[in-house]
Amino acid sequence: MRRPETDLHLHLDGSLSIDAVKTLADRIGYDFKGKDVKKMLSVGENCESLPDYLKCFDLPGILLQTKEALEYAACDLVKRLAGQGLVYAEIRFAPQLHKQKGLTQGQAVEAVVKGVRAGCLETGIYAGVLLCAMVNGSDAENAATMELAKVFFGEKTVNGVIGADIAGPEGFVPMEHFEGMFKRVYQAGVPFTIHAGECGDYENVARAVAFGAKRIGHGCAAIQSEDCMRLLEREKITLEMCVVSNLQTKAVAGIKEHPLKKFFDRGIRVTYNTDNMTVSDTSLEREAELIMSELGFREEELKKMNEYAIDGAFVGEEVKCRIRELMRK
C-alpha cells in the first residue's frame, strides 16, 4: 500500500495535464499545427539549464488567461492529486502572469482559489494556494502580488491563500533586492517560502532565512556551506526539494550528487516534491521510487519526510491535525 503523500512545491502552470491543455486549447481555438503536445510541455532529456526548462511554460501561459481557464485548471489539478493518493498539497502560481486578456491579479487569485476549493470539496483532500512574485517581474507587479497575499491570507479560509513565494530565474535580480518586500510580508504575518539555492549560491539560502522564510524552495546549494546547513538545522527550516526537476535544470550534476539524503541524515527537514508534474514528466511516486533506488531512502524515511511536510505546511494547527488523521488512516 502506498504511503499517504504531500506536495509542498507544485506549480499550477507547470502541472497541467495533457487532457486539460487540449480542453483549454480547444476553448480558444489554439492550433497545435501538428506539434506533439507533450513535447511542447515537457523538457525531455536535453534540458541544459533553468532558463531552458522555463521555456516549457510558454503554452500554459497562453492558455491560462481567463477566470474560467484558471478555475478549471486548478480544480482538475486537485482532483488528479487526490487520485494519486495525496492528502495535502500547496499549489503555487504567479497572478501577474495571467493578465494578458484583461484579468486583474485579484481576479486571477479568486479563480484559482475557487477551483482549488471545488476540487477539495469533491475529493476530500486539503490544498492551499501560494501567490508567487517573480524574480523577473516589475517591482509594482510584485508589490501587488504581495498585497493580495496579505488580503486573501487575512480571510483565514480552508483551501484558500495560505502564503507567498518568489519564483523565476534565480540570479536575474540579486536576492537583496527583495529584502524590503519580504520584510513587509513577514511583518504582516503571512508565511512565505523563497526559491533559493536552486541554481544560485548558498548565500541566497541564508538571505532567504534572514528575510523570515520558514521554508526554502529547492535549496540544493546549501550543501556547499557547513554554516548554511547549520543555519537550516538551527532555524528548523523546511527544504522543498524536487529531485527530477533539479536534475533537469542542472541544479545538481547527477542523481548521486543530489544532497537530499545528506540533508536528511543530518536532521535537516527535507521533503520531496514534484515542482512541475508535466514540465518534468514526474509524479510523487516517480520521485519516491527514484530516491529509494538511487539514494537509498527507506519507506520509513519517506514517511518521515511527509511528516516534515505537514509540520512545515502553511495551514493552521487545526487543519494539520485533520491531515495527520488522514495520514494515520
- Residues annotated as part of the active site: 198
Angle at 236 between CA 234 and CA 280, to 5 degrees: 130
Letter string b/e over residues 228-237, b meaning 16 or more CB atoms within 10 A of that residue's CB: bbebbeeeeb
Query: In the numeric block, which cell numbers belong to residue 153?
Result: 491570507
CA–CA gap between residue 223 and residue 297 (Å, rounded):
18
Burial of residue 225, with CB atoms counted within 10 A of its CB: 0-12 exposed, 13-18 middle, 19 or more buried: middle
Listed in sequence order, the DSSP H helices in the chain are: 18-28, 37-41, 50-54, 58-63, 67-83, 105-123, 139-153, 179-187, 202-211, 226-234, 243-248, 260-265, 284-295, 299-312, 317-328
Torsion angles phi and psi, residue 216, rounded to 5? -125, 130
Residue 118 · residue 71 · CB < 8 Å: yes
Cα 172 from chain centroid?
19
Q: Are 302 and 3 in contact (CB under 8 A)?
A: yes
- Residue 278 identity (one-letter amino acid): T
How many C-beta neighbours within 10 Å does residue 2 have? 9
